[in-house]
């Protein structure tokens, strides 16, 4: 007899993370989406993977992910409702062998489908798996102060990275690879997916100006904490600007000392030698 899917660790993680993102104000209404790469071994105690409820076509060819399983948030779904109705707001999908559709194994019980950003998520999973075989999670959210920062700060990846590193001592340790930024683009398109994935070759955080942030990681906690740390730095930046700007900051030499102390390699070109 199969166990209750709602007790699965990966479902519980999705419920808790979506609740936290909504609580923090980063996923208003139906804003934001999550995809979480899981294994057949994780699913089998809860579901018969041979039972496919629906097949949903995709415009994007996800052949490199054929046969892989994901738990994802749904299109038009509100994060605030996930904990009360996980089966209506989440879905477990398997990418079909031809890469041009996905098979729904559980969830989306009201006839829903995966997030409209699914192609962007899949493109970024493909990219991150090429550089990190432990990669598992993509989170897109509307982190408030990071969005605000894209209105007031120069949209240059090196400059943004340096500013965020200076705002909180932990930043260079948590994201030594820095952040990237793409031009403003219409969301939900293959174009924005490709642009984001191109940046994900070297970083785990990509800013979408005036929109939000895309974060990648090996676990749900890792990815949430990555975004949380960058957002805290952006909030400090906001407060510093409101207080009249920097009078002093963490110097490049001190940032390098931090990186050395924690055994991380800072993104080249950000710190002066």
Task: Give the 3-state secondary structure of 6-67.
Answer: HHCHHHHHHHHHHHHHHHCCCCCCCCCEEEEEECHHHHCCCCCCCCCCEEEECCCCCHHHCC
Burial class (CB in 10 A: 0-12, 13-18, 19+), 245: exposed
145 labelled ligand-binding: no
Residues 6+ away with beta carbon under 8 Å from 127: 197, 198, 200, 201
CA 70 to chain centre: 14
| H or E element at residue 256 | helix 252-262
Told to judge if 41 belongs to the known catalytic residues of this protein, a careful annotator would answer: no
140 labelled ligand-binding: yes
**Do the Cβ atoms of 186 and 213 come closer than 8 Å?**
no
Q: Distance between CA atoms of 88 and 91, rounded to whole angstroms?
A: 8
CA 128 to chain centre: 11
Residues 6+ away with beta carbon under 8 Å from 193: 60, 117, 119, 120, 121, 122, 123, 124
**Do the Cβ atoms of 244 and 216 come closer than 8 Å?**
no
Annotated catalytic residue: which of 13, 117, 166, 228?
A: 117
121 labelled ligand-binding: no
- Residue from 214, 252, 1 nearest 115 by CA: 214
Q: Which residues are catalytic?
A: 117
Q: Which segments are annotated as binding site for Zn(2+)?
A: 140, 142, 211
Q: Which segments are annotated as binding site?
A: 140, 142, 211
């Amino acid at each position: 007899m199969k166990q209750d899917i709602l007790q699965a660790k990966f479902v519980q993680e999705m419920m808790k993370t979506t609740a936290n993102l909504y609580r923090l104000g980063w996923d208003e209404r139906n804003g934001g989406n999550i995809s979480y790469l899981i294994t057949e071994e994780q699913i089998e105690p809860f579901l018969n993977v041979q039972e496919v409820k629906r097949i949903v076509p995709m415009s994007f060819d996800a052949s490199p992910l054929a046969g892989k399983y994901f738990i994802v948030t749904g299109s038009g779904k509100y994060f605030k409702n996930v904990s009360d109705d996980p089966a209506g707001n989440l879905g477990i999908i398997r990418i079909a062998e031809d890469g041009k559709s996905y098979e729904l194994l559980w969830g989306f019980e009201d006839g829903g489908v995966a997030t409209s950003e699914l192609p962007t998520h899949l493109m970024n999973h493909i990219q991150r798996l090429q550089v990190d075989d432990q990669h598992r999670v993509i989170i897109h959210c509307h982190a408030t102060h990071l969005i605000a920062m894209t209105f007031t700060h120069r949209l240059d990846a090196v400059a943004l990275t340096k500013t965020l590193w200076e705002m909180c001592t932990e930043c260079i340790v948590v994201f030594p690879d820095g952040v990237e930024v793409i031009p403003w683009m219409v969301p939900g398109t293959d174009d924005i997916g490709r642009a984001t994935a191109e940046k994900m070759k070297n970083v785990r955080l990509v800013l979408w100006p005036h929109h939000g942030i895309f974060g990648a990681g090996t676990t749900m906690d890792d990815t949430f904490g990555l975004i949380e740390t960058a957002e805290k730095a952006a909030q400090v930046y906001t407060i510093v600007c409101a207080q009249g700007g920097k009078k002093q900051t963490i110097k490049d030499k001190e940032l390098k000392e931090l990186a050395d102390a924690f055994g991380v390699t800072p993104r080249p070109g950000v710190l002066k030698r």
